[in-house]
Structure 1
Amino acid sequence: MTEHHRPIWDRGEAIDPEMLSYTIGDDWLQDQRLVEHDIAGSLAHVAGLVHAGLLEDEAGQRISKGLRELLDEYRAGSWQLTPADEDVHSAVERLLTAKIGEDGGRMHLGRSRNDQVTVDVRLWLRAASADAIAATEQLIASLQELESAHGSLPLPGYTHLRRAMPSSIGDWLGAHRASFAADLDALRDAQKRGRFCPLGSGSGYGIPLPLDRGFVAEQLGFDGPEEPVTAVQHGRGRPELAYLSALEGLAISLGKLAADLWLYSSAEFGFVVLPTEFTTGSSLMPQKRNPDLIELLRAQCRQVLADRAALLAVIQDLPSGYHRDFQLIKPPLFRGHDRALASVRITARLVPALQFDTETLQQAAADPQLAATAKALQAAAEGGQSFRSAYREEAGSEN
């Protein structure tokens, strides 16, 4: 069993070690992503304490210098969180105190881990959503370039996966591009959900000290403090859910593109040619080139939907205020982000390499049944008969 560092909330009473291990779980591992954000939040909080006259300038400088040194050391790989750490906040405070002495413990004045972890995650969300937005923009640009190069090629339009009406590669790619553009809007909207700063809300009901919450919010690039203070814990998980909901839409769009490529690149369709470098081989059948990438892309996208559902299950039906349940927001949030970001990035690499079999597309588009709807409409428009009558006549001629 892991021997943990003394919790910052320890009052000298007996602590069941198995209880401690269970409640910590893998939070130390999840918090690896938050180290830099936690230090950034602490630097802003210390500046706020000095600004409010609650911490002497000299002490503030010592604490800030120590935090910056810890950040440099972390980036250099000199330390990381371990299973002995309860969370990132405890680890940073412990390491800072070891570095500069008792002043390290003064950093927590006017702050709870409740508002501390909330600001950490919102800073992470800001960076994560920026990455997802940039990757989606790149994918849209790749689709646009492919559409410009091959958009005039004919393609049967399908309903019920049966040939229905004439269409084109341009219309097909344009539909996918429009879907990703809608996802891009959703990502930008989700990014706005975390634009207010939770620091100064404490455990959920404010801090009885003259903190300038607006000053601290400005230090961290937020639009302002979140108000009322009770909204911070009341809304825990909502910005995260908004982000995963946007990723869910993105995953659905990616999955639909993957499904089309999977079908259209098969021998039965033969419209799309997958580049060899984006396929795998068979251990038994030497002739095979397998679309493992797009099959796993489909599966990963389904998992993003599961990650959103897992996060929603954590936060639904909880009473107001803080609950330890919120600790379990992080795993599905981080998983969903990782899956979606990796998926959109690899798709943006695949799209420019796609090729089309022009002869097969032209043969499929020459199917006379694709013109049936246009013929019925033309007969009704020019012959003075009802569309239903023209529809039946055309149906009879096709049979």
Structure 2
Amino acid sequence: MTASSNQPFFHPPIWDRGEAIDEAMMRFTIGEDWRMDRQLVPFDIEGSLAHAAGLARCSLLNQEDYESIQTGLNQLLVDWQAGKWTVEPGDEDVHSAVERRLIDLIGKAGSRLHTGRSRNDQVATDLLLWLRAATQELTQGIRQVLVAGQQLHRRFEAWPLPGYTHLRRAMPSTVGDWISAHCRAFEDSLLDLNGQSHRWRLCPLGSGAGYGVPLELDRQGVAEDLGFQGPEPVVSYPQHSRGRAELSFLTVVEGVALNLGKLAADLWLFSTEEFGFLELPVSMTTGSSLMPHKRNPDLIELIRANSRQICADREALKSILSDLPSGYHRDFQLIKPPLFRSHSTAVNMLELIARFLDKVEFRKKALDLASKDVKLAATEKLLQQAAAGQAFREAYRRESREFESEPPHNQEEGSD
């Protein structure tokens, strides 16, 4: 429905009691949730199929209604995948959208589906199912980067590259060592992701609004149907812990973003004329509207910037959860935007940086020239003298005097 019609923009909510509802209030409370909930459609239907099967096993749904609900939900999923419907601005949330369309499709039987559950345990379940899928997607993206990094290592493994501290030439290194360090960071992120699975081992369904459901439900069977180890035994915990699993996941995403930002910063720096160590892939650069000679590294600059945005999103999610009393609160609705946005951005950046690494070329001549800097050999020369029996500090002072003509550096005491 449009805002200009004589009807309110929103569909009658599932909690409607026939009383007047302030439209401005509904617009504000729905906000962008309808758009966020589009990502939850398949998981809400998956959870609803399992819930309906559990109701039927407990004789809370007769076989005819169960089969009708099952057929209707499967049809809704097919139609959604075909792009025939989605959550609309006038839908309060994905649960309302699915239930409304199910009733339109199969009639009165669809109104029996909500028996024994609340939207509170529904959305908690939907989000855990989403997190499981999101983790798999992020894992795949990290593996793409690792494959690209390993291929880059094979191509340029032994090529010299100055090692830097404080962004000043420090000791000899290689392109192979440089990319290996980045790969190790992504391997750590994979381990962090693997450690997330305990967050979705127990199913919230059957905990209701946060205090259980006074019906004999097959919670174990429903949990197993959805791939959980079992139901959450403490019925108040799914709402008490809302956002904790999401925050834990987003902390891992933040780590991935930090990896991407550091890699992007290196690629950006090494591609400047002042360094000249690598050639930007032409197909992954942009141009200037004024300066015809420019090839701009917009991709890696925006990866760097979006990595910071993901860090900000994690802080936003943490702030939403701070200092809330126990139980469900509508504040939890705002968990979704930073969570979904950060995940989508990270997956997109992983795919793009992998393609960038596949195409990047290092410049051997520039690397060889930079690596001939005599300062890079100073530490090895010092250690050889110490190994030959000279006192380390005496050799250190003698070696440092060779570079006294170098411009002084403002270094904090104790820095290396």
Q: Same fold (TM over 0.5)?
A: yes
Counterpart-to-counterpart distance in 2, 1:91 and 1:362: 63
Matches within 5 A, 1:257-296: 257-296=263-302
Q: Which residue of 2 aligns with 1:394?
A: 399
Q: Which residue of 1 aligns with 2:68?
A: 62
1:360 aligns with 2:366: yes
Q: Deviations over 1:74-99 (max 9, x none)?
A: 22222222111111111111111122
Counterpart-to-counterpart distance in 1, 2:19 and 2:145: 56
The answer to whether the 8 A contact 1:41-1:220 is kept is yes
Letter in 2 for 1:320: S
SS of aligned partner of 2:195: helix
The answer to whether the 8 A contact 1:191-1:243 is kept is no
1:184 aligns with 2:190: yes
The answer to whether the 8 A contact 1:125-1:191 is kept is no
TM superposition shift of 1:3: 2.1
Counterpart-to-counterpart distance in 2, 1:145 and 1:81: 42
SS of aligned partner of 1:287: coil
Letter in 1 for 2:393: R
Counterpart-to-counterpart distance in 2, 1:209 and 1:322: 21
Counterpart-to-counterpart distance in 2, 1:340 and 1:195: 24
Letter in 2 for 1:177: C
Counterpart-to-counterpart distance in 2, 1:356 and 1:4: 57
Letter in 2 for 1:395: S
Runs of 4+ aligned structure 1 residues displaced above 6 Å come to none
When normalised by structure 1's length, the TM-score is: 0.97
Counterpart-to-counterpart distance in 1, 2:313 and 2:61: 42
Letter in 1 for 2:50: A
Counterpart-to-counterpart distance in 2, 1:148 and 1:158: 22
TM superposition shift of 1:131: 0.7
1:341 aligns with 2:347: yes
1:235 aligns with 2:225: no
Counterpart-to-counterpart distance in 2, 1:288 and 1:227: 61
Q: Which residue of 2 aligns with 1:76?
A: 82
Counterpart-to-counterpart distance in 2, 1:133 and 1:195: 19
Counterpart-to-counterpart distance in 2, 1:122 and 1:21: 27
Q: Which residue of 2 aligns with 1:144?
A: 150
Q: Alignment partner for residue 120 of structure 1, among 121, 126, 151?
A: 126
Q: Alignment partner for residue 212 of structure 1, among 211, 215, 218?
A: 218
Moved more, 187-196 or 262-271: 187-196
TM superposition shift of 1:13: 2.5
Q: Which residue of 1 aligns with 2:253?
A: 247
Q: Deviations over 1:145-198 (max 9, x none)?
A: 110111100111000000000111111011101011111111222244223211
Q: Alignment partner for residue 200 of structure 2, among 176, 188, 194?
A: 194
TM superposition shift of 1:233: 0.6
Q: Alignment partner for residue 172 of structure 1, among 178, 199, 209?
A: 178
TM superposition shift of 1:385: 2.7
Q: Which residue of 2 aligns with 1:85?
A: 91
Counterpart-to-counterpart distance in 2, 1:26 and 1:257: 33
1:225 aligns with 2:231: yes
Letter in 2 for 1:232: P
Q: Alignment partner for residue 300 of structure 1, among 300, 306, 312?
A: 306
Q: Which residue of 2 aligns with 1:15?
A: 21
When normalised by structure 2's length, the TM-score is: 0.94
Letter in 2 for 1:296: L
Moved more, 160-169 or 68-77: 68-77
Over 3 Å counting, the alpha-carbon distance change for 1:191 and 1:354 in structure 2 is farther
Moved more, 252-261 or 214-223: 214-223
SS of aligned partner of 1:149: helix
The answer to whether the 8 A contact 1:47-1:216 is kept is yes
Counterpart-to-counterpart distance in 1, 2:126 and 2:17: 26
Counterpart-to-counterpart distance in 1, 2:296 and 2:9: 48
Q: Which residue of 1 aligns with 2:409?
A: none
TM superposition shift of 1:51: 1.2
Letter in 2 for 1:370: L
Moved more, 222-231 or 317-326: 222-231
TM superposition shift of 1:238: 0.9
SS of aligned partner of 1:101: helix
Letter in 1 for 2:391: S
Q: Deviations over 1:184-234 (max 9, x none)?
A: 111222244223211011001111111121100111111221231111111
TM superposition shift of 1:326: 0.4
Q: Which residue of 1 aligns with 2:412?
A: none
Over 3 Å counting, the alpha-carbon distance change for 1:341 and 1:191 in structure 2 is farther
Letter in 2 for 1:112: S
Q: Which residue of 2 aligns with 1:331?
A: 337
Q: Alignment partner for residue 106 of structure 1, among 89, 112, 119?
A: 112
Counterpart-to-counterpart distance in 2, 1:84 and 1:291: 41
SS of aligned partner of 2:402: helix
SS of aligned partner of 1:187: helix
Q: Deviations over 1:245-295 (max 9, x none)?
A: 111000000000000011101110111111111111111111111111111
Q: Which residue of 2 aligns with 1:373?
A: 379
Moved more, 158-167 or 271-280: 271-280
The answer to whether the 8 A contact 1:43-1:67 is kept is yes
Letter in 1 for 2:68: R
Counterpart-to-counterpart distance in 1, 2:44 and 2:347: 23
Counterpart-to-counterpart distance in 1, 2:381 and 2:99: 76
